[in-house]
Amino acid sequence: MEFIDKILTSDNTGFMLLLGLVVVVLWFLPAMLALVFNRKHFKLILLACIPAGFSLIAWGGVMLWATTGKVVDKYANRATPHG
């Protein structure tokens, strides 16, 4: 506890802000990638990022969901018969 108090009261404000920004960016990286790769499910992926950040496995699953959206649609359209 004393160690944490020492960090918070020291002159590390810039470092703490940078560290917090890095954590938030990594936590919501799947949502940012979903804007490019899977815009249709962006809101759901954004909501899924909140609890998924606590588990590396869940975060990885959300990352896959975010980045494979258009690929899944591409292959699903190819599998359906036309005509």
Cβ pair 53, 22 in contact under 8 A = no
CA angle, 50 as apex, 48 and 53 as ends, to 5°?
100
Residues whose CB falls within 8 Å of the CB of residue 27, separated by 6 or more in sequence, listed in order: 49, 53
Query: Rounded to two decimals, what is the model's pTM?
Result: 0.70
pLDDT value, residue 71: 66
Residue 71 half-sphere exposure toward CB, CA atoms < 13 A: 7
Q: How confident is the model at residue 34 (pLDDT cuts 50, 70, 90)?
A: very high
Structure confidence by residue, pLDDT tens digits, 70-80: 666 666 667 66
